[in-house]
């Protein structure tokens, strides 16, 4: 069991508040990803959970026990670092045995647990090698195995894949997700990579300048971003964000923005500056000269094609709508060219509205 509860956890370094009153309830068995841009406080938060850094405010509970001031070695949490932190002069077997030796485990127990951990990440054939005789991916597995061998209550990982090349990162990502499913243990994983977060997490905590921006499943964050920041951070290519004004018309709400032809919405309060968000995959491209081809419901943006990029599987059609740039991802079978007059359409259910001043989502 490892349920971690953070209550208003805060860490200041002089004038800089690296982590600002973050509260999170991490359920036993969750794969929680701490996600956010460089400097948003992810590593500082993870180090406080690990016990490597004291908070300047708030508290941390592990299975109902307050562990805020408890030394790292007593917490029974295993940390896997980006740099692997392996002992270079020791063989893989000895690197794995080290945490057990420190604890005074018997020789027999050490041998069997080292072998079991090595087998679970497929490095049993490398046990006699030194770290320098391993590839980056193999070293990363040794680091994970060294955490496994301790049978900790939870695994804490700080960008463990960032030193791997793109292909290996994808493979290792899948292995880590499988390992999490097999172990059923709690993982807390730091990354700035939204793909890692989307593919591995059961829950994402999105951080922005030390604050918790949004906490939920990957689907919740992607489908219902709670702020402009969250909308722009998740998704590649990024969500299109357009400045607009919300005004009442005929009992419904109309949104007026340069190039926006007809965008109707119900339920939001009128007369305010907003930001309209539409993901590239939710827009479709229509011939602007053919009125019959343009859907009449939802959003319609009239503009010109600027550039078409072929990505192999799909194409990105970059358009100019008034002063704004809007990107659509669509099937390569469509034959749009730079200079084409087009209308971009999206169903109303796929249009996100945010208050421009506060940045928060309008329901
Ligand atoms: P990255 O993805 O770049 O590692 P991060 O999200 O992990 O970033 P942190 O390393 O937690 O961010 O840093 C958060 C903020 O706290 C940054 O502004 C950083 O400069 C500051 N900070 C972190 N550690 C210290 C320290 N020991 N002394 C002073 N400021 C620090």
pLDDT band per the 50, 70, 90 thresholds, residue 263: low
Distance CA 44, CA 13 (A): 10
- The pLDDT tens digits for 333-349 are 999 999 999 999 998 88
The pLDDT value recorded for residue 120 is: 84
pLDDT band with cut points at 50, 70 and 90 for residue 186: very high
Which residue has its alpha carbon closest to ligand 1 atom 10? 43
Q: Is the model's pLDDT at 231 over the cut of 70?
A: yes
Residues 51 and 126 in one domain: yes
Q: In this structure, how many other beta carbons lie within 10 angstroms of the beta carbon of residue 356?
A: 16
pLDDT tens digits for 13-42? 999 999 999 999 999 999 999 999 999 999
Contact assessment for residue 31 and residue 202, using Cβ atoms and an 8 Å cutoff = yes
Cα 328 to the chain's mean position, in Å?
Answer: 22
Q: Looking at 233, 261, 282, which one is the last position of a domain?
A: 233
Tell me: do 220 and 267 sit in the same domain.
Answer: no
Q: Are residues 224 and 245 in the same domain?
A: no
Q: Do residues 135 and 262 both lie within one domain?
A: no
Residues 142, 161: one domain?
yes
Residue owning the nearest CA to atom 7 of ligand 1 = 43
Q: In the listed set 189, 207, 233, which residue is the last one of a domain according to the structure?
A: 233
Q: Identify each DSSP E strand in 125-231 by its residue range.
A: 154-158, 186-191, 203-208, 211-216
Name the residue with the closest Cα to ligand 1, atom 30: 13
| Position 162 confidence tier, pLDDT thresholds 50, 70, 90 | confident
How many domains are contained in the chain?
A: 2
In a domain, 141, yes or no: yes
Structural domain includes residue 360: no
Distance of CA 26 from the midpoint of ligand 1 (Å): 22
53 vs 255, more confident: 53
User: What are the angstrom distances between the C-alpha of 255 and each of 230, 261, 269, 276?
Assistant: 22, 9, 12, 9
Domain that holds residue 268: 240-355
Residue 313 belongs to a domain: yes
363 domain-assigned:
no
Residue nearest to ligand 1 atom 25, measured at CA? 13
Task: Provide the mean pLDDT of the chain.
Answer: 90
* pLDDT value at residue 60: 97
Q: 355 C-alpha vs ligand 1 centroid, how far in Å?
A: 29
| Nearest residue (CA) to ligand 1, atom 3 | 38
Mean pLDDT of 311-320: 95
Domain end point (choices 181, 213, 233): 233
What's the start-to-end Cα distance of the chain, in Å?
A: 37
Residues 41, 115 share a domain: yes
Pocket residues: Cβ below 6 A from ligand 1: 13, 16, 18, 36, 38-44, 192
Residue 60 CB: number of other CB atoms within 10 A? 21
Say which CATH number the domain at 344 has: 2.40.50.140
pLDDT band at 61; cut points 50, 70, 90: very high
Same domain, 89 and 219: yes
Q: How far apart are CA 78 and CA 21, in angstroms?
A: 24
Please give the average per-residue pLDDT across 54-79, as a whole number: 94
C-alpha closest to that of 22 among 14, 30, 36: 36
| Same structural domain, 199 and 337 | no
Residue 317 sits in the same domain as residue 340: yes
- Domain contains 362: no
Interface predicted TM-score (ipTM): 0.97
From 42, 50, 196, the mutation candidate for ligand 1 (largest count of ligand atoms within 8 A of CB) is 42
Roughly what angle, to the nearest 10 degrees, separates helices 92-103 and 136-148? 20
pLDDT band at 297 (very low <50, low <70, confident <90, very high): confident
CA of 38 to the centre of ligand 1 (A): 8
CATH of residue 223: 3.40.50.300
* Phi and psi angles of residue 334, each rounded to the nearest 5 degrees, phi first: -75, 140
**Mean pLDDT, to the nearest integer, of 311-328?**
93
Mean pLDDT of 152-177: 87
Question: Ligand 1 pocket test: which of 10, 41, 189 has the largest number of ligand atoms within 8 Å of its C-beta?
Answer: 41
The reply to whether 102 and 251 lie within a common domain is: no
Residue 271 tokens read as 């007369």
Both 213 and 306 in a single domain?
Answer: no
Mean pLDDT on 286-305 = 83
Element (H, E) at 73: helix 72-75
Is there a domain that residue 361 lies in? no
Mean pLDDT to the nearest integer, 275-299: 87
Verify that 255 and 147 share a domain, yes or no.
no
DSSP string spanning 219-270? HHHHHS-SBHHHHHHSSSSPPEEEEEEEEEETTEEEEE-TTB---EE-SS-S
């Amino acid at each position: 069991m490892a349920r971690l509860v953070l209550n208003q956890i805060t860490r200041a370094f002089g004038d800089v508040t690296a982590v600002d009153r973050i509260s999170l309830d991490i359920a036993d068995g969750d794969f929680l990803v701490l996600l956010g841009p460089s400097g948003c406080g992810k590593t500082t938060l993870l180090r406080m959970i690990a016990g490597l850094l004291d908070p300047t405010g708030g508290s941390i509970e592990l299975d109902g026990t307050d562990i805020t001031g408890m030394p790292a070695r007593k917490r029974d949490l295993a940390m896997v670092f980006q740099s692997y932190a392996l002992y270079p002069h020791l063989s893989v077997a000895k690197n794995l045995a080290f945490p057990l030796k420190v604890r005074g485990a018997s020789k027999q127990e050490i041998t069997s647990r080292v072998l079991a951990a090595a087998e679970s990440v497929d490095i049993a054939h490398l046990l006699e090698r030194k770290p320098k005789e391993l590839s980056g991916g193999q070293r990363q597995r040794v680091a994970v195995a060294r955490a496994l061998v301790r049978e900790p209550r939870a695994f804490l990982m700080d960008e463990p894949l960032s030193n791997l090349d793109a292909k290996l990162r994808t493979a290792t990502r899948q292995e880590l997700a499988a390992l999490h499913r097999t172990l059923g243990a709690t993982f807390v994983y730091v990354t700035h990579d939204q793909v890692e977060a989307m593919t591995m997490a059961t829950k994402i905590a999105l951080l922005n300048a030390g604050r918790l921006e949004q906490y939920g499943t990957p689907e919740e964050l992607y489908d219902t971003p709670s702020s402009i920041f969250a909308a722009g951070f998740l998704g590649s290519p990024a969500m299109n964000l357009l400045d607009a004004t919300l005004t009442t018309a005929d009992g419904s709400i109309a949104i007026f923005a340069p190039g926006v032809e007809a965008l109707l919405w119900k339920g939001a309060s009128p007369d305010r500056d907003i930001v309209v968000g539409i993901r590239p995959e939710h827009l479709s491209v229509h011939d602007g000269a053919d009125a019959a081809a343009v859907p009449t419901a939802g959003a319609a943006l009239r503009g010109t094609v600027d550039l078409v990029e072929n990505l192999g599987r799909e194409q990105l059609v970059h358009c100019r709508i008034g002063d704004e740039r809007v990107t659509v991802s669509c099937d390569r079978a469509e034959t749009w060219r730079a200079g084409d007059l087009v209308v971009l359409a999206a169903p109303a259910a796929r249009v996100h509205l945010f208050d421009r001043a506060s940045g928060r989502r309008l329901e």
